[in-house]
Structure 1
Amino acid sequence: MLAPLPTPAPAPQGEPSLALPRSFWKDFAKRHWNREPAVFKQPFGNRAPTTGQVYEALLDAGERVRRGEYTMPLRFFIEHEEGPDGLPYYSMLMSLSNHMPRPEDGNVEGYLARLNDILGGKRFGIVFNRLQMYQWTHWQQLSSFLSGLYEFVGVPLGNNESCIFFGNYRYTPFGIHKDNSHAFNLVVEGRKSYSLWPFEMLASREEVPKDPSLIQRPYSLFMKDDAEEKEVLSRAAFIEASAGDVAYWPVSYWHRAEPTQGLHISISVSACSAPPMFTSMAPPHAWPDQLRATDLPGKRSWQVPAQVRSALRQRGQRKALLAAERESTIAWVRYLSAGAVDAAPPEAKEAPLTPTEWIRAHPERPIVCVPLPGKELLVAALGRSSPLPASAPVRRRVEQLVSSLNAGKPLQVEALEQAFFSRLPARAFKREAFRALLDDLVRWRAVQRCPPPGRKSH
């Protein structure tokens, strides 16, 4: 199960990246994808995520919790050693304000010391889902990692995301289970040991539904007592990964993290085989379960992939169904413009653009335009979008604007505005709406401020 060492791919200048070379992904797709678990030793070299980065993410999460912004993606488990059946069990805290890192902790060591006092020495575990939604740096890392996978196995259409596991817990708090996603576990600190079972090995247990589709869906097993747990573990395969390593197992495998010493930190990247979450909010319908990497927005002109368009058209022509088609189209465009990553990255907090400033888009993360019913044009990038009322002349101007930005060259705001409104009827589109669109693109991180050509940034 030990995989060969890849040569890390160079990171794009100025951006954090977990990109791996094509030779790595080609070998991975041939030998491991949806076949068997593996451990890849130090694939990222000195670009691997660090304990400091993870701690900063948890500190930011703690501050958000204390401001009342969210709690759903964050779970805090406390381990209790002796349950009535001889097995440890876990309780989950509902109030997290005092148990997450605080600025006064200073660092990981200070946080762990304070937490040890609060918990009276009990072991704990933090599970922080959808990390990419709150950390721009990690969104870039996740996107660069998945792009290589997509090229060789296709784009799994589901809740592709990343999740922090942080703590000194002995076992995965939710026990032996399987997910609806292929798992890449990036070990950041410490050592991780995983028990693994092929689906068929535990599928015959009494509590497991006899449903062939379960191999692609999540499910957890219940151990009655210590003796049963030991019997199940006797049939497991085990893999170990240290800091900087990546462990992989297919969607079909049951798994659990096993006891190791001290603090251990990992980032789990999920490549999900279930439909995207937003499809559950639309009328029941068949959606594609995978696309090609070339179906995602790229350097060429882009439109919604044929498989998705076909599914959308089958909804019918009644007014209510057309409204549902519009909303589903917007959701699909947002999802695909984010590289099939679940959730857009956090918005940038920047002042409105001024006419004399220069901006540029990232050529590898294009802005897209998609027509909507009712003479609207959807402008989208990195998982966010804005529908614009667009007559034919306005639509052409917006598409020309987006094409100019997608070239990735520095452009002046004032010059873009002049070109957009040249010979355009005064009532066709408001200048305030044009400026708001550019400001949206800055907030979405689709474009960024840059120095004029020939002048270096400081």
Structure 2
Amino acid sequence: MARIDIQRRFDWDLFVTRYWNRRPVLYQATGASPFEDADAFDAALGASRGAMAPPTAIEARTDVQFTIDKGQPVQPGPWLPRDTDGSLDGYDARLAATLGSRRYALIISLLHSHGFGLWSRERAFFSELWRRVGIPLSGGITTLFHGNYEHSPVGVHLDRFTTFLFCLRGRKRMRFWAKRPWSMPVTTLVDYAPYLEKSFTAEVGPGDILYWPASYHHVGESAGEGVATSVNVGIPITGHQTRDDVEDLLNAGHGHAPRARDAARSPPLVRGILDGEGILSRELPVALRLAANTLREITHDTRTQANIRTLWLNRLSSGGFEPSPPPARRRVLKDTDVLHGNKAFPILVEKTGAGWCCSANGKALHVSGPRQPVNKLVATLNTAREVPVSELLHPFPSRGALPHRVLESLPATRAGMRRMLENLLTFRAIHVIGSSRGK
């Protein structure tokens, strides 16, 4: 029977040489994990707010799944994290008082898009991997698994991504099969007891890091009576395949081709793909219609290259984890405010058409005007030295105020560059550290 390698020291060079896309490995108590309980709770709160918003609201998200035993409540709101819980411990205590002995699972996909603290630590950690293997052409995914569930609700399955599991709290067992243990034409299996003999396991505790390649079938299990929390990070090892989108569309999240009786349970964007007889509709489903419209817009001759460059700069500045968390609240910058940037993760600038694209922390803004002063402003911020706003804006002409309407491209004037700095501040790419008044 296969056994998993155990390492006591985390070393990226050894990992890439020996384990990357080859075989699983467990790193025990190395102190290398980037994730903290408080950041995970903060991100879970952000995801829960979107999940509880009305379906038509702009902030509505479908990243959250909650199960009780083997069922899903129609309205998950009462079971999701709240500000009043204060922490994961407070959240667990509230659920324990309500659910008693019933088991539950909170699963949040795209966790990195809901909390800046978690996202920034994750980006810094994986930047060392990208130095060695290159940044993925399509973004990584981050998923929170929290609860006292018996095993992963989906059962034994195979991911499209090579995966890192970071254990935060409690204990969890991952069970692996080097090859698919069943022969039935299904992609997942909840009742896998007949195949236990062909599996091997790894038990993880707080601070441990577990890695496995995409070729291994696996399932997460409870390794005790308490609540366990882990953050899983999936890294694509090949470019995103169009067939994956088509498969998702047709499967509609059920693990098989859709049938007429599944129509009511299908996600809104793909609902109506089949008629009452189970025949494919002549009209494109909403998901494909929206995709086709977007493709027409971004492939217009005058915009294609600019859009491609912007998307790639955002991929680079986000560290491969998109979408990045939403911007912070805007504040007006005064001339006396002192700013500094982030030398480790600089603002990226590249020419796009007649102007310039600046990308920071996965978000872009566009500037029109001469190259030299714009590049100098960004280069100064990227040194991370402390500099007043007045010094940064001095090279730019004062003529021309910004109109009230939001501009697609900011002019290289003092007003335009002040707005650019304010945007970068909302992106959390720069920080205000004080005032130059009195110096």
Partner in structure 1 of residue 66 of structure 2: 76
Hey, what's the Cα distance between the residues in 1 that align with 2:374 and 2:241?
Answer: 30
Partner in structure 2 of residue 55 of structure 1: 41
User: What displacement does 1:142 show?
Assistant: 0.3
Specify which of 272, 282, 300 is matched with residue 320 of structure 1: 300
Tell me: CA distance 1:103–1:365, structure 2 relative to 1, closer, same or farther (3 Å).
Answer: closer
Q: What SS is found at the alignment partner of 2:48?
A: helix
Hey, what's the Cα distance between the residues in 1 that align with 2:87 and 2:358?
Answer: 41
Residue type of the partner of 1:207?
P
Partner in structure 2 of residue 389 of structure 1: 368
- What is the total number of aligned residue pairs between the two structures? 372
Specify which of 275, 293, 300 is matched with residue 239 of structure 2: 275
Specify which of 5, 8, 25 is matched with residue 8 of structure 2: 5
Specify which of 415, 423, 426 is matched with residue 443 of structure 1: 426
Q: Is the 8 A contact 1:362 1:408 kept in 2?
A: yes
**Structure 1 gap segments, 5+ residues each:** 7-19, 80-89, 209-219, 282-314
Tell me: CA distance 1:77–1:396, structure 2 relative to 1, closer, same or farther (3 Å).
Answer: same
Partner in structure 2 of residue 26 of structure 1: 13
Residue type of the partner of 1:233?
L
User: What displacement does 1:141 show?
Assistant: 1.2
Moved over 6 A (4+): 277-281, 424-428
Hey, what's the Cα distance between the residues in 2 that align with 1:376 and 1:352?
Answer: 25
User: What displacement does 1:106 show?
Assistant: 5.0
Q: Is the 8 A contact 1:337 1:383 kept in 2?
A: yes
Hey, what's the Cα distance between the residues in 2 that align with 1:439 and 1:148?
Answer: 30
2:357 matched to 1:378? yes
TM-score by length of 1: 0.73
**Structure 2 gap segments, 5+ residues each:** 246-294, 403-410
Hey, what's the Cα distance between the residues in 2 that align with 1:396 and 1:152?
Answer: 33
Tell me: CA distance 1:258–1:280, structure 2 relative to 1, closer, same or farther (3 Å).
Answer: closer
Partner in structure 1 of residue 185 of structure 2: 207
2:379 matched to 1:403? yes
Residue by residue over 1:6-54, the C-alpha shift from the partner in whole angstroms, topping out at 9 and shown as x without a partner, is: 2xxxxxxxxxxxxx6xxx0011111111111111011226x76344443
Partner in structure 2 of residue 253 of structure 1: 216
Hey, what's the Cα distance between the residues in 1 that align with 2:309 and 2:144?
Answer: 31
Larger CA deviation: 400-409 vs 96-105: 96-105
Partner in structure 1 of residue 189 of structure 2: 222
Tell me: CA distance 1:34–1:108, structure 2 relative to 1, closer, same or farther (3 Å).
Answer: closer
Residue type of the partner of 2:65?
R
Hey, what's the Cα distance between the residues in 1 that align with 2:243 and 2:348?
Answer: 21
1:29-428 matches, cutoff 5 A: 29-44=16-31, 49-68=35-54, 69-79=59-69, 90-116=70-96, 118-119=98-99, 121-198=101-178, 201-202=179-180, 205-207=183-185, 220-222=187-189, 226=191, 229-261=192-224, 262-275=226-239, 320-373=300-353, 375-390=354-369, 394-421=370-397
Hey, what's the Cα distance between the residues in 1 that align with 2:167 and 2:374?
Answer: 44
Residue type of the partner of 1:413?
V
Q: What SS is found at the alignment partner of 1:62?
A: helix
TM-score by length of 2: 0.76
Hey, what's the Cα distance between the residues in 2 that align with 1:61 and 1:334?
Answer: 22
Tell me: CA distance 1:204–1:120, structure 2 relative to 1, closer, same or farther (3 Å).
Answer: closer
Hey, what's the Cα distance between the residues in 1 that align with 2:360 and 2:240?
Answer: 18
User: What displacement does 1:378 show?
Assistant: 1.0
Hey, what's the Cα distance between the residues in 1 that align with 2:119 and 2:13?
Answer: 23
Residue by residue over 1:288-323, the C-alpha shift from the partner in whole angstroms, topping out at 9 and shown as x without a partner, is: xxxxxxxxxxxxxxxxxxxxxxxxxxx9xx982443
Residue by residue over 1:328-350, the C-alpha shift from the partner in whole angstroms, topping out at 9 and shown as x without a partner, is: 32212111121222222332225
